[in-house]
Structure 1
Amino acid sequence: MAKKIKAITPRSENYSQWYNDIVLKADLAENAAVRGCMVIKPYGFAIWERMKELLDKSFKETGVSNAYFPLLIPKSFLSREAEHVKGFAKECAVVTHYRLKATEDESAVVVDPEAKLDEELIIRPTSETVIWNTYKNWIHSWRDLPLLCNQWCNVMRWEMRTRLFLRTSEFLWQEGHTAHATEEEAQERARQMLRVYADFAEKKMAMPVIRGVKTPTERFAGAIDTYTIEAMMQDGKALQSGTSHFLGQNFAKAFNVTFADKDGEEKLVWATSWGVSTRLMGALIMTHSDDNGLVLPPALAPIDVVIIPIYKSDEERAQISELVEPLIKELRDHDIKVKYDDADNKKPGWKFSEYEMKGVPVRLALGPRDVEEGTIEVMRRDTLEKETVPYEGIGKRVEELLDQIQENLYQRALDFRTEHTYSCDDWDDFCEKVEAGGFVMAHWDGTAETEERIKELTKATIRCIPLGQPDEPGKDILTGKPSERRVLFACSY
C-alpha cells in the first residue's frame, strides 16, 4: 500500500506527469465527465476554502463587500465593449434553448426546437458586462461612490487544452469590481488589490512573486492597465498568479454609468476589476512539492499536525490514546489544526505515506516506548527531518516548528527564483537561458512587433514590466533598437 501511494513520477523525469500524479494521488481533484472540467475533492477543496477565507478577510479589510451576479449574460451585453468581446469571443459557451423533451419512444431526451431563446445567453467567462449593467442602477451621485463589490463564483472559458487547476473550462474564482469618482482613486484601488494578492502569495502561500504591469499585448481585454503577480515554478516557467485591472471609463461608457459630482455635473465613473482563481492551487503544488508528494505551507494546510499511534495490541492503543487526549487539547490551545488517526484498518507505514503525500506539515508518532519515556517523534514535511523530543511542552514546540516551516518554504522558493533569474544582453545567451527555464531580464524596444517576434522564436513572453524597475537605457535584445528598461521574459503556463 505504501509503495502504491508513493508511486509518483520524479520531477526530473517528467515534470508534467509529476504534477498530474500529485493532484490525483494527494486526493486534490480529478477529471469530470464533462471534457475540460474537474471535480475538486474534499481535501483539495479544504485548501481552496482556506485560501478563500484568508483572501476574503483581506478584501473586507479594504472596504469590499461580497455580492452575487447572474451566471448567464445576454449576448448583446458582450457586444457593447469591443475589446472585451474580442478577447473572450472564442471561449464562450452559449445557451440557445431553455427546455428539453422526451423522444416519442421516451428512450432519450432532445432539445425542444420550440424552446429557442429570443436572445442567446452566455455562461459568464467574466462578469464585467452584467455587473456594469447593474451598477448603472446603483450609481447616481458622488455619494454612491466608491462602490466596492466582490463575488465568489464559477466561470466558464471553453479551453481546448486543459490541465487540472492550471487551465480548466470551468473554474472557481473571485472577481472584484469597483467604481470610483476619479481616475486617481481607481488606479490606486487597482494597485492596492495587487498588493493584497502579493501579500497573500508571499505570506500565506510562501510563494515569492514579481509585481508588474502587463504590456498592451498581454493586458486584460478592455483594460487600460493590467497589473500582475508572476511566480516561478520549479521547472523555471512563470505562472500568472493574480491580476488587477484599471479599466478606465471603458465599461462606464459602454453601459452609460454616470454620476452627478458635488457641483451637479454629470460624469462617467472610473472602474477596476481584479481576480484570482483555483489556478493558485496549481501554483501551490508546483512551488513547494517534491518527489514524495504535496508540500503545504502551514498557513494553508487543512491539517497542521497529524498524530499517528504505533501499537501491536488493543492495550497499547488504549494507553497511547489516553496520552494523546491532553496532547490534542494542548495543540488546539495553540490554534493548531490537529488530526488523530487511530483507525485500525491501515498500518502506521501506510498512514505515514498517505500524510506525506498530502503534505501535512508536521507528523507526530507515538509508540509504547514513547509512552514509557515521555517522548514523541516529530517529523517536518518540508525537509523530512525527524527528531524525538520530550512530550511536555509539545504545543509550543510544534507552534515554533510550523513558523519555521512557513519561513523555510518561502526562503527556499525565493532562493530557487534568485538562482534561476538572469540578466541578458546577448541574443544567443537569451535563447539559451529561456530554453533552460527561468526568468530573463532583457531590454525590449516597446513594440508589439518585436514582442511577437521574440515569442515566435523562443516561446517566451513578456510576463511583465516589473514595478519599481529603474530606468536603464540599453538596446533591445533582438532588434538592437533603443530601450528604456529591462522587462521580464519567461516561458509560462
Structure 2
Amino acid sequence: METLKVNESENNTPTVEGGAPHRKPEKKDKERKDQKAAAKSKGTNQSQASKKGGQGDVELKGITCKKAEDLSEWYQQVIVKGELLEFTDVPGCYIYQPGSYRIWEFIQEFFNKRIRKMGVKNCYFPLFITEANLQREKDHIEGFAAEVAWVTEGGKNKLEKRLAVRPTSETAMYSFYSKKIRSHRDLPLKMNQWNNVVRWEFKHAMPFIRSREFLWQEGHTAHFSEEEAGVEVRQILDHYAAIYEELLAVPVVKGRKTVNEQFPGAHYTTTVEGYIPAVGRGVQAATSHCLGQHFAKMFDITIEDPNQKVKEGETRDKLFVWQNSWGFTTRSIGIMILIHGDDKGLVIPPRVADVQVVIVPVGVTAKTSDTDREKLYGQIKDMSDKLEGADLRVECDFREGYSPGYKFNDWEMKGVPLRIEFGPKDSANGVVTYSRRDQEGKDTIPIPDLATQVPELLETIQADLFRRASEEYAAHRKIVRDWKDFVPELNQKNVVIVPHCTGGDCEDEIKKDSSGNVEGQEVDVRAPSMGAKSLCIPDEQPEEIKAGTKCINPKCGKDAKMWVMFGRSY
C-alpha cells in the first residue's frame, strides 16, 4: 500500500459510529434520545458554573471525556458547552447560537463576494412546494421521497392538496425559469438563495453533520451550452474548496461522483470530499451539479436557436437550456469541529472566529487598589483598541468573581485562537503574555508590536491548522491495488484509492462485501459495521491506469477505468 503525499501548494443525541456494530434504533428510540439530550444539555448549562462566594471560587464544568475515547459524547459536549448549538424538543432540529451562526455569516460573506463576480444574484423562493410540482420530475423526487415533510393542515382546516416543505428547490424554481427565459438574450440566468431545507430522515442525527432541518445556499443557473455550464460547475467547486481550505482550514479532495452517487436527475455531479480522522470516515463536504437538459425538458425551459438561419416567416427551432445547481451547507461547521477540536473543547480557525483574541487581566487580587486596577484595565482597553484598529475581533474579559484560570479554560473551551494575559508584571516589563489555542506553551510580545505581531500570529495559527489537517488526510489516503488489503486499510481508519471499473453494480457489491460479510474481509469490531462506498473519482489521479489493470473487486473481472476513492462515510 502507498500513502499519497500532501500537495503543499495547496440528532438527536449526536451519534458517531466507531464502536461495535449495534442494532438500528427505532424512530421512537431516536426521539427519546433527542429529548434526553436536550434535557441533559439544558442541565449542563445550568450547572456549568457554581459560585461559592468570592473571586476565584467559580468552578467550570469543562469537557469531561476524551475525543479519542467517546467521540459521540465529546462532540455533544463541545458544541453545547462551546455555545455553538442547543438542542430543542423537536428531534433533529437545533438552535444555532451566535457562535456558530457567525461562522455561517463569514462563509456567506466569502462566497457572496465570489459568486457576485460571476454574475450570480441572490433571491428567495417559498418554503412550500405543491405536490404536483414536486412530482413533475420522477427521478428527482424518488431521490428525496423518503425524506419529504408534508403540510396537510392549515389552521383548523385540512388542505385540499398537501404541500411539501422543500428538501431542495429545483422544482420550486424552474417554473419561474420557464417564464423568465424567453430568448438567448436572457441567458445565462444565475440565481442563488440562502435558506433552510427540511429532510425528514430517520438515520442517526448528528448536529451540523446530519439533521432534519439545516441551513445552506443553493445556486440554480441556466446556460446556452453544455460547455458554458461545465465551466461554471468547476468554478463553483473551486470556491467550495476555498471555503474549506482558506476559511475553515480543512483539506478536501476535489472530484466527480460516480453515477451511483450523483445527484438525482443530474447529468453529472462534482464534489469536494473531506475526512474525519477520529473515525477514519469520509464526508461529502459540498457538491456542484451539471443538471444537463433534464429539468429543462420537464419544465419547458427553452429558447429559439439564435444561430439557425431561417427564411422570412419561418420560426427557429427551440433549444433546451443547460442547467446547473450547487449547494453548500452548515455541515461544514461540523466537519471543522470534528477535525480541529481537542480534549479541551473547540479550536476555531482565526478567519472564522467571532472572537479572535481575548485579553484576560491577571495578578489582580483583593489587595489590589482601585487605582492600580483601573490603571491595568485602562492599559488593556488601549491594547484592545489598538488591535481592533488592526481589524481584529477582540474581547476583554473583565468579569468579576471569576479566577484567571476559570477564564482561561472557558475561552479554551470556546476555541478562541489567541489568549493574551496582562498583569502588573507584564506592565512593568512592557510586554503581554500570549497562548495559542492550537498548541501548548506561552510566549511574549512587546506592547508596541501588538498591532503587527498579533495579526501575523493569527495567520500562522490558520496556516498551521490547515497544514496539520492536510498532512493527516494525506497520510490516510491509501492506494490499494489488491482486494485483500481493502478492508484492513479501512480498519486502520483510512480511505482507499483503488482501480475501479466505475460500474454501479460493482460499487454495490463492494459496499456489501466490505461490511464484513465475506471471508477474509472481517471488519474490526472497533470500526463501523458499514461497508465502503465510492466517495469520488479524484481529479488528481495518483497515476495512469495501466493497460490490463483489473477492477479491485475480484468478482467483477472488468478492466479498471479510473482510480476511485472509497471509504466509510457519514
TM-score, structure 1 length as denominator? Answer: 0.94
From 273, 289, 302, the equivalent of 1:258 is 302
From 448, 451, 472, the equivalent of 2:545 is 472
From 343, 367, 370, the equivalent of 2:399 is 343
Question: In the alignment, residue 551 of structure 2 is paired with which amino acid?
Answer: D
The aligned runs of 1:354-433 (5 Å cut-off) are 354-433=410-489
Tell me the distance in 1 between the aligned counterparts of 2:73 and 2:189.
Answer: 45
Tell me the distance in 1 between the aligned counterparts of 2:139 and 2:493.
Answer: 32
Spell out, residue by residue over 1:185-240, the C-alpha distance to the aligned partner (whole angstroms, 9 max, x if none): 11111111111101121111111110001111111111111100001112221111
The aligned runs of 1:111-260 (5 Å cut-off) are 115-160=157-202, 161-235=204-278, 236-260=280-304
The match for 1:490 is 567
Question: In the alignment, residue 304 of structure 2 is paired with which amino acid?
Answer: A
The match for 1:291 is 343
Question: In the alignment, residue 352 of structure 2 is paired with which amino acid?
Answer: L
Spell out, residue by residue over 1:419-460, the C-alpha distance to the aligned partner (whole angstroms, 9 max, x if none): 212111122211101122122111112221211111122211
Shift of 1:3: 6.5
Shift of 1:121: 0.6
Tell me the distance in 1 between the aligned counterparts of 2:72 and 2:258.
Answer: 28
Tell me the distance in 1 between the aligned counterparts of 2:73 and 2:483.
Answer: 32
Tell me the distance in 1 between the aligned counterparts of 2:152 and 2:179.
Answer: 27
How many residue pairs end up in the alignment?
A: 479
Question: Does the 8 Å CA contact 1:92/1:123 hold for their aligned counterparts?
Answer: yes
Question: Does the 8 Å CA contact 2:357/2:420 hold for their aligned counterparts?
Answer: yes
Spell out, residue by residue over 1:297-337, the C-alpha distance to the aligned partner (whole angstroms, 9 max, x if none): 11111111011112113433312111122211221221111
Tell me the distance in 1 between the aligned counterparts of 2:199 and 2:293.
Answer: 25
Question: Does the 8 Å CA contact 1:304/1:362 hold for their aligned counterparts?
Answer: yes
Instruction: Please provide the CA RMSD for this pair.
Output: 1.4
Tell me the distance in 2 between the aligned counterparts of 1:8 and 1:477.
Answer: 43
Spell out, residue by residue over 1:81-110, the C-alpha distance to the aligned partner (whole angstroms, 9 max, x if none): 11101001110001112123xxxxxxxxxx
Question: In the alignment, residue 552 of structure 2 is paired with which amino acid?
Answer: I
**Mean Cα deviation higher: 179-188 or 345-354:** 345-354
Look up the SS of the partner of 1:217 in the other structure: helix
Question: In the alignment, residue 423 of structure 1 is paired with which amino acid?
Answer: I
Question: Does the 8 Å CA contact 1:5/1:354 hold for their aligned counterparts?
Answer: no
Q: Cα–Cα, structure 1 residues 124 and 341, in superposed 2: closer, same or farther, change >3 Å?
A: same
The match for 1:105 is none
The match for 2:357 is 305
Shift of 1:8: 3.4
TM-score, structure 2 length as denominator? Answer: 0.82
Tell me the distance in 1 between the aligned counterparts of 2:221 and 2:492.
Answer: 41
Look up the SS of the partner of 2:171 in the other structure: helix
What are the ranges of 5 or more consecutive residues in structure 1 without an aligned counterpart?
101-114
The match for 1:267 is 319
Shift of 1:7: 2.5
Question: Does the 8 Å CA contact 2:83/2:99 hold for their aligned counterparts?
Answer: yes
The match for 2:82 is 26
Question: In the alignment, residue 234 of structure 1 is paired with which amino acid?
Answer: P
Question: Does the 8 Å CA contact 2:187/2:224 hold for their aligned counterparts?
Answer: yes
Spell out, residue by residue over 1:119-149, the C-alpha distance to the aligned partner (whole angstroms, 9 max, x if none): 2110000000011011111110011100010
% identical aligned pairs? 40
Question: In the alignment, residue 259 of structure 1 is paired with which amino acid?
Answer: I
The match for 2:98 is 42
From 461, 464, 476, the equivalent of 2:533 is 461
Question: Does the 8 Å CA contact 2:500/2:562 hold for their aligned counterparts?
Answer: yes
Tell me the distance in 2 between the aligned counterparts of 1:491 and 1:392.
Answer: 51
Shift of 1:4: 4.1
Question: In the alignment, residue 167 of structure 2 is paired with which amino acid?
Answer: P
Spell out, residue by residue over 1:150-208, the C-alpha distance to the aligned partner (whole angstroms, 9 max, x if none): 00000000021211111110000000000001111111111111111011211111111
Shift of 1:366: 0.6
What are the ranges of 5 or more consecutive residues in structure 2 without an aligned counterpart?
1-48, 50-57, 308-315, 515-530
Look up the SS of the partner of 2:264 in the other structure: coil
